[in-house]
Amino acid sequence: MLVDDIMSVTETAGHLIDGFGTRSRAYVQVQNGCDHRCTFCIIPYGRGNSRSVPAGVVVEQIRRLVDRGFNEVVLTGVDLTGWGGDLPARPRLGDLVMRILRLVPDLPRLRISSIDSIEADPRLMEAIATEPRLMPHLHLSLQHGDDLILKRMKRRHLRDDAIRFAEEARRLRPDMTFGADIIAGFPTETGAAFENSLRLVEECHLTWLHVFPFSPRPGTPAARMPQLDGRTIRKRAARLREAGAARVAMHLDAQQGRAHRVLMESARMGRTEQFAEVVFDGDREEGAIVPATITGRREQRLVAV
């Protein structure tokens, strides 16, 4: 059954999340649904078209969260860069980010969740370049690195678009890190097409990969396309995960001796601004942002004093 496509702004605002996960980090849902129809995705059939929470409502919610002691807020949405398209004057995500940072000066950290890089607007790029309280970590909805597969997915970007965005974001914010969603084994994916995805990990400097072995969703166009065999899909997913693990190790090794400000998620574990996990030998205050010097790493975690 379809979600009611005319769900009002008031109803959408009711889905804002006060606090979730840990005492240190709160998640605020500012958008739901999606106006796009990627061939592999079932979300629009279940959640309807994009619906945005007005900026004033978001700002007030974040003020309440800061008053409750949260040091980091994460903006979330099904299609976060689609925020504002259904609101008067059609503001963009960058407008929301800049408004939050201007009107909530006591918020130490603002983080944004998965974005569609082709929809990154000029104000968002300005925030990346000028706002140190916007965390230097972006999770990109890339899905693939081959142009023909991207077209068959009905994505709105090509591989060169993704590479250009990553290069520009790193130029504006040299300490920027990227995560990404990538699908392995999409229908009709050839060996050469897969290699394009694999190379994208290096070309976009991706660090934190979410790799999804393709699984057809009933009722989607991709489910009707010629499918790859499961063994090939699993092998390709494993190779992508190996590439991602290598990039994580490279990033963590580069942090040796560096100073970071770490948001503590528990007494002995926190995260850097780039979202790397850090462990300490002694207790720190949960929810606090503490100075740390990186002394080593244990597998995919940094060690600090």
CATH number at residue 267: 2.40.50
Band of pLDDT at residue 19, cut at 50, 70 and 90:
very low
**Banded pLDDT at 22 (limits 50, 70, 90):** low
Q: How confident is the model at residue 9 (pLDDT cuts 50, 70, 90)?
A: very low
Query: Are 266 and 182 in the same domain?
Result: no
Q: What is the CATH number of the domain that holds 97?
A: 3.80.30.20
Residue 161: which residues within 8 A CB-CB, separation 6 or more?
A: 117, 118
- Note whether residue 68 is domain-resident: yes
pLDDT, tens digit, for every residue of 87-106?
Answer: 999 999 999 999 999 999 99
Do 85 and 222 share a domain, yes or no? yes
Domain total in the chain: 2
For the residues of 159-217, what is the DSSP string, one character each? HHHHHHHHHHHHHH-TT-EEEEEEEES-TT--HHHHHHHHHHHHHTTEEEEEEEE--PP
17 and 119 both lie in a single domain: yes
Give the DSSP per-residue string, 256-286: TT-EEEEEESSSSEEE-TT--EEEESS---T
State whether 285 and 196 are in the same domain. Answer: no
Provide the domain limits for residue 116. 9-256
**187 in the same domain as 65:** yes
- In terms of domains, do 132 and 208 share one? yes
Residue 2 lies in a domain: no
State how far the Cα of 157 lies from the Cα of 150, in Å rounded to an integer: 7
Same domain, 287 and 153: no
Quote the tokens at residue 109.
């950290």
- Do 244 and 270 have their domain in common? no
In a domain, 3, yes or no: no
194 with 79, same domain: the answer is yes
Same domain, residue pair 77 and 129: yes
Residues 88 and 171 in one domain: yes
Residue found under tokens 């916007």? 134
What's the whole-model pTM score? 0.90
